[in-house]
Structure 1
Amino acid sequence: MKEIKVPDIGNFSDVNVIEVLVNVGDTIKIDDPLITLESDKASMDIPAPQGGVVEAIKIKVGDKVSEGSLILVLKDAGEPSLNVAAAEAQPKVGNAPAEATKPVAGIKEIKVPDIGNFKEVSVIEVLVHVGDVIKPEDSLITLESDKASMDIPSPKGGKVKEIKVAVGDKVSEGSLILLLEVEGAASDTPSTAPSPSTVSTSAPVAANTASTINDDDFRRAHASPSVRRIARELGIDLSKVKGTGLNGRITEQDVRGFQAGGSVVVSTPAPVVAAPAPTPSASTPAAPAPAANNMGGIQFITQPDWSKFGAVETVPMSRIGKLSAKHLHRAWLTVPQVTHFDEADITELEAYRSSLKDKAKAMGFNLTPLVFMMKAVVAGLKEFPKFNSALADDGENLIQRKFYNIGIAVDTPDGLVVPVIKDVDRKGLFELARELGDISKKAREGKLKSNDLQGGCFSISSLGGIGGTNFTPLVNAPEVGILGLTRAQERLMRKNGEIVDRLIQPLAVSYDHRVIDGAYAARFTAHLAFVLSDVRNLIL
């Protein structure tokens, strides 16, 4: 008999058991999932470290477990554990075993490649399973930082032998992702089809065994633990759901779309005698309002069945849209934000820009007003350095940046992204205009690299090409300030005793009130207006 315990699951403790994936009497193999755990940040499956027959299950749904908690008792079926199997596969010299960390012949360690300056990045999806045959450049995992998500492709083709990361893990460059049996290499013991689970006659049969859901097919479905949990709650057979995610992965939207189509598997537990439902009457209290649910740290209001009122369609959000939703919700909850409004007279600046437009066009790029705004922001950051700082993790210190990188919000078919223009203070207007055009084109074509989204000090969100009179942009944390721009307006004004036509640019500066106070923000915004009022002020 072998006691199977919860392995190292990082810094998680007292994690909820949301699913028990095996029954007493089941015959399991190495890497078969035993239970699903869910913390506030992630769901994860706990795999079997060795094969055998389940003799006793020591936990149930709703229990809280930590590293070392007993999961079940396993009757050894002669299949070595993962550590033993790996050790036995090592080449030996004489009677001395080789180092335990050295992979077996034909097995390659696939690690996280260079991902820029990102460190301790969360794994939000594992896109392959043990036994999958993959090709070079197939996506293995998806990582998510505060500003972007990225897929990590496989550098080689072959068969996945062992996965070393799970959803919720944090990885950096060099972290081990999986072991891969490379193409053309001798394989280990040929894989066999999983044996069907058997139920001991002395063990109680679970209530859902009469369901038409095939547990083996359900377990092998290409879906994350959280999606499988939702499918079980809704009684949906994942083997019948078509995945629209990467590599055919089943998403939550796929499951809910399948449910909306009416193809829901209904389990048939043993009949019970229940009291008849009360007949609604005038004295029956109204049903409570839809409760808020929490998915991925974001609270949504539970939706009613809109199909009762007319035709509906479930449209999956783009990846950028989903990332933006999480990031902006987190920023709104954690950053106390205030917006200060002002105006700048950009009549002379616009005249100067117009005089250079044709020259810039001949050089292959557009000289837009945004370039001048970037230079004005840098002038403001130098004069008011708190806007170029970040609040340290301890909440008691400021990290003062000595460089000037400006993030520019770009509208793309998939949603808003914020690429970063580096060293704006060191570049001229034409150089910035060319770079702005190039990076905006890359953003719209979905070709931005992780480095393009890193290192921003302050952001600009411009809606001038669309319209509007003003708005309150959200601070792009961990930055502490953002400038919002709408369309400039022609306005009659009194100047030097005369009524003149001037071009007025609305300015909206949102800021983190933990770092910036109102008076400081007002002076910063007034300085922006001063710099923009005369193009010569840009060189002060």
Structure 2
Amino acid sequence: MQITTPDIGVDKAVVAEILVKVGDHIAENDSIVLLESDKASVEVPSSASGIVKAILVNLGDDVKEGIALIELESEGAVQTASEAPANETTAEKVSSESIQDTVSESEPETAIAAATESAEIEVKVPDIGVEKALVAEILVNVGDQIDVEQSVVLVESDKASVEVPSPVAGEVLSIAVKAGDSVKEGVLLLTVKSTTAAKSQAAPAKAEALTQTPVAEKKQVPAQPQSTAALTAKMDSIDKLNDEQKAANAKVYAGPAVRQLARELGVLLAEVKASGEHGRIVKDDVFAYVKTRLNASQNTTSTTVAPAASGLPPLPDFSAFGGGEIKTMTRLQQVSVPQLSLNNFIPQVTQFDLADITNLEAWRGELKDDFKKQGIGLTILAFIAKAVAHLLKDEPYFASHLADDQKSVVLRNEIHMGIAVATPDGLTVPVLRNPDQKSIKQIAQELAELSQKARDKKLSPKDLQGANFTITSLGSIGGTAFTPLVNWPQVAILGISPATMQPVWNGKDFDPRLMLPLSLSYDHRVINGADAARFTRKLTILLKDIRNILL
């Protein structure tokens, strides 16, 4: 039976990911292929259950409605096919035994077979310390021979990655989960045909059979693929990682088994192209990298580096100028590179202004002690977020998005404000929900909570999604002004530099005023320069006297 592409709402799409492998047991409605068009990503479900016999498409193929994706064989047909030879063999054995009168010699073999068939062990999720986790990587395949305590599945929560070991040795009969599944304690992971249990049950019978049989038939264990074995042998000549390189590998998104493999093969994970979900490096990526290095020309002297950013040539060779060393960026920095690169396609302009916050700072000073007693830190950012949210109601284009057709604008119904937070690993931007509907106290409290979660690495994906305007602040770091980058798909971002006391002319003389530098960067395709100047001017008025919000 062939599973074909259903009506996905577009003329054609690209095969972005194949979610099953040959030999997988799948149920009806299990996702088999991820298709991607310029408008959406769609997971195609299977219309029937069975075993994947063949995959008929490759990554990157263009497909449309009716194109065959996989070939499926019903489980009933597989069982019937597998039983037929067994029955035939049994019939032949019985016939042979009746002719040769060797029934007594066949009894031990029957005992061994029965014991092996009965030793199918279900491997389930143990107590991993959290209520649920995601299957990040499946470390074995159907048909693999595994040992006791060998890791079979890598599960990951927001707190840790855990490799689940097999309690028995044997052959993997089936895998019940796939990458991305949510699992908890007791969920079935895979079924193993246990050789240890079978051997222990059939030991006496097997011993007797061996005394009567000149040559015992050995069960063949699938050997390690030749390519992998060859790679491992060749990599023995490469220096293993030092402590600094191990520390660098620890910052790359990969499971413990992959890190161990990298240590054994002397691979810097920062140089490996990831193919796993969310940029995770899997074992196949490491082997592919090693194979590429081994197949490279022997006279090539240039260092293998990660692919250069779009439009930029590879780095030159610095060996003639003192050389250098590779320092791995944090995972947060690595994840940010593709997003920041999108800024190359935005015609960005920055509007600068100064806001007089003398009176606002005085009022904050009066309130902060009372807030502190309630466990709330009151910063100037809470007032700025409230003022900006109020202004965005009057200036909705600053919280909009340029539509895909480049001819229209998507105006959002709600305000969700990204607030940039500096962490030891880099900058992250959690989202403050509906600040226009909240009080200064509520905003201050939520800002503190989001900042703490960011520093503790406890932000959920939802905490980082949906913003349509961003505020980023240098706080007390220093500087007089800067040009923040618009965070696509947003069209504007407000940068705040440290406030300083400055002399301001009042018409007769100079007054000392606390002035706050503002930097509004915007997408010039959506926002005109005059509109940006008007926006910052309105914001300075609101910050000079926050009571204007009430009008």
Asked if Structure 1 and Structure 2 have the same fold, meaning a TM-score greater than 0.5 normalized by the shorter chain, the answer is yes
The structure 1 residue matched to 2:344, chosen from 333, 340, 358, is 333
1:438 lines up with 2:449 in the alignment: yes
Alignment of 1:272-421 (within 5 A): 294=307, 298=310, 301-306=313-318, 309-310=321-322, 312-330=324-342, 332-421=343-432
Quick one: which amino acid aligns to residue 550 of structure 2?
A: I
**Does residue 195 of the first structure (1) align with residue 223 of the second (2)?**
yes
Distance 1:265 1:500, change over 3 A: closer
State the match for 1:96 in structure 2. none
Hey, what's the Cα distance between the residues in 2 that align with 1:128 and 1:506?
52
Q: Secondary structure at the match of 1:248?
A: helix
Residue 254 (structure 1) aligned to one of 258, 262, 269: 269
2:156 matched residue in structure 1: 139
Report the equivalent of 2:139: 129
1:12 matches 2:21: no
* Counterpart residue type for residue 192 of structure 2: S
- How far apart are 1:139 and its partner, in Å? 2.9
Letter in 1 for 2:256: N
What are the residue-to-residue correspondences of 1:215-254 with 2, within 5 Å?
A: 215-217=227-229, 244=250, 245-249=254-258, 253-254=268-269
| Superposed counterparts of 1:78-93, under 5 Å | 83=73, 88=78
Describe the SS at the equivalent of 1:497: coil
- Using the alignment, how far apart are the partners of 1:64 and 1:363 within structure 2? 57
Go from structure 1 to structure 2 and tell me whether the alpha carbon gap of 1:428 and 1:218 turns closer, same or farther (over 3 Å shift): farther
Contact 1:378 1:404 in 2 (8 A): yes
Name the SS of the counterpart of 2:530 in structure 1: helix
Once the 2 structures are TM-superposed, how far is the Cα of residue 338 of structure 1 from its aligned partner? 1.2
Q: Measure, in 2, the Cα distance between the counterparts of 1:136 and 1:256.
A: 25
Residue 385 of structure 1 and its aligned partner are, at CA, apart by: 1.1
Counterpart amino acid of 1:539? L
Q: What pairs up with 1:90-129 in 2 under 5 angstroms?
A: 127-129=137-139
Any idea what the Cα deviations from partners look like across 1:433-465, whole Å, max 9, x if unmatched? 111111101101111111111221210000032
Query: Is 1:462 aligned to 2:461, yes or no?
Result: no
CA deviations on 1:192-219 (whole Å, 9 max, x unpaired) are 743366xxxxxxxxxxxxxxxx612378
After superposition, the Cα gap between the structure-2 partners of 1:474 and 1:215, relative to the gap in structure 1 and judged at 3 Å, is: same
Which one of 485, 492, 495 corresponds to residue 496 of structure 2? 485
Superposed CA deviations along residues 319-365 of structure 1, whole A, max 9, x for unmatched, are 210111110112x1232211111111111111111111211222212
Q: Secondary structure at the match of 1:402?
A: coil
Q: Which digits, 9 at most, give the CA deviation of each residue in 1:110-168, with x for residues without a partner?
A: xxxx99xxxxxxx9x9633334865887239xxxxxxxxx89979988679559879xx
- By how many angstroms is 1:382 displaced? 1.2
Distance 2:525 2:222 in 1: 57
Using the alignment, how far apart are the partners of 1:11 and 1:378 within structure 2?
A: 39
Query: Is contact 2:175-2:189 (8 Å) kept?
Result: no
Q: Deviations over 1:254-304 (max 9, x none)?
A: 37599xxxxx986699x9xxxxx9xxxxxxxxxxx9999845x64554234
1:187 aligned partner, one-letter code? V
Q: Which of 1 and 2 has higher RCO (CA within 8 Å, sep 6+)? A: 1
8 Å CA contact 1:290–1:303 kept in 2: the answer is no
Query: Alignment length, in residue pairs?
Result: 400
- Once the two structures are TM-superposed, the CA of residue 512 in structure 1 deviates from its matched residue by 1.4
Note the C-alpha offset of 1:402: 2.3
**Deviation at residue 519 of structure 1 after TM alignment:** 1.2
Matched to 1:316, the amino acid is: T
| Structure-1 separation of matches of 2:393 and 2:529 | 18
- CA 1:268–1:454: 2 relative to 1, 3 Å: closer
Over 3 Å counting, the alpha-carbon distance change for 1:305 and 1:184 in structure 2 is closer
1:348·1:533 contact (CA, 8 Å) conserved in 2?
yes
Aligned-partner SS, 2:415: coil
Output the CA distance in 2 between the equivalents of 1:326 and 1:369: 32
1:298–1:326: 8 Å Cα contact kept in structure 2? Answer: no
Q: Secondary structure at the match of 1:466?
A: coil
More helix by share: 2
Amino acid aligned to 1:442: K
Code of the residue aligned with 2:13 in structure 1: it is: N
> 2:548 — aligned with what?
537
Q: Look up the match of 1:202.
A: none
Instruction: Decide whether aligned partners of structure 1 residues 13 and 421 sit closer, same or farther in structure 2, where only a CA change above 3 A counts.
Output: closer
Structure 2 residue runs of 5 or longer lacking an equivalent are: 7-11, 25-35, 39-50, 65-70, 81-119, 126-130, 167-171, 196-218, 273-285, 287-291
- Cα contact 1:129–1:163 (8 A) shared by 2: no
Q: Secondary structure at the match of 1:350?
A: helix
Distance 2:388 2:79 in 1: 61
Deviations 1:489-520 (A, max 9, x none): 21111114232101111111111122111111
Amino acid at match of 2:468: C
- Given that residues 409 and 461 in structure 1 are in contact (C-alpha distance below 8 angstroms), is that contact kept between their aligned partners in structure 2? yes
Q: Which residue of 1 aligns with 2:275?
A: none
Distance 2:549 2:339 in 1: 33
1:475 and 1:255 map into 2 onto residues whose CA distance is 27
Aligned equivalents of 2:460 and 2:173: distance in 1?
27
Distance 2:53 2:319 in 1: 48
Secondary structure in 1 matching 2:14:
coil
2:206 is matched with which residue? none
* Matched position secondary structure for 1:482: strand
Give percent identity, aligned residues only. 33
Conserved? CA contact 1:485–1:506, under 8 Å: yes
Q: Which amino acid aligns with 1:404?
A: I
Contact 1:129 1:160 in 2 (8 A): no
Is the aligned partner of 1:515 residue 2:543? no
Could you say if the C-alpha distance between residues 499 and 14 of structure 1 is closer, same or farther in structure 2, counting changes exceeding 3 Å? closer
Q: Distance in 2 between matches of 1:319 and 1:14?
A: 23
2: CA distance, partners of 1:255 / 1:300: 19
User: Which residues of structure 1 form unaligned runs of 5+?
Assistant: 1-6, 16-28, 32-38, 42-47, 52-62, 69-80, 91-103, 116-122, 141-149, 167-174, 198-213, 222-231, 259-263, 272-276, 278-288
Question: Which range moved further: 315-324 or 304-313?
Answer: 304-313
